[in-house]
Amino acid sequence: MHVMVTAKDYNRQARIAELDFRTKRHPKVIEQPWMEGLPYPVQLLMIKELQKAEKAWEEADDSDGRELQDKVCCNCKFY
C-alpha cells in the first residue's frame, strides 16, 4: 500500500513539473513576446542573457551605440 501511495505522489509531482515546464510564463515574457513559445527553464536562461546584454549596453561608452566590438563571446548555458 505504501508503494502505491508513493507512486501516486510521484506521478502527481511529475505532472505538475511537466505542466510548469510547458505552460508557466515568466513576467518578462510580456516585454519579450517571442519567448512565449519557449519552455519556462529556457525563458529563465534567456532572460538572464538579455539582462546581461542590457547591462553591457548601458555601460557602453560610445555615444551613438553603433561601435562594434572585435571581441565576441558567448557564455550561454544552453548553446
pLDDT of 10-67, one tens digit each? 999 999 888 888 788 888 888 888 888 888 888 888 888 888 888 887 877 665 555 5
Q: What's this model's pTM, rounded to 2 decimal places?
A: 0.58
Crossing angle of helices 2-23 and 40-59, rounded to 10°? 40
Angle at 63 between CA 59 and CA 67, to 5 degrees: 80
φ/ψ (deg, to 5) at 38: -85, 150
Q: In this structure, are residues 36 and 29 in contact, taking their beta carbons and an 8 Å threshold?
A: yes
Cell of 64: 551613438
Provide the grid cell at 71.
Answer: 571581441
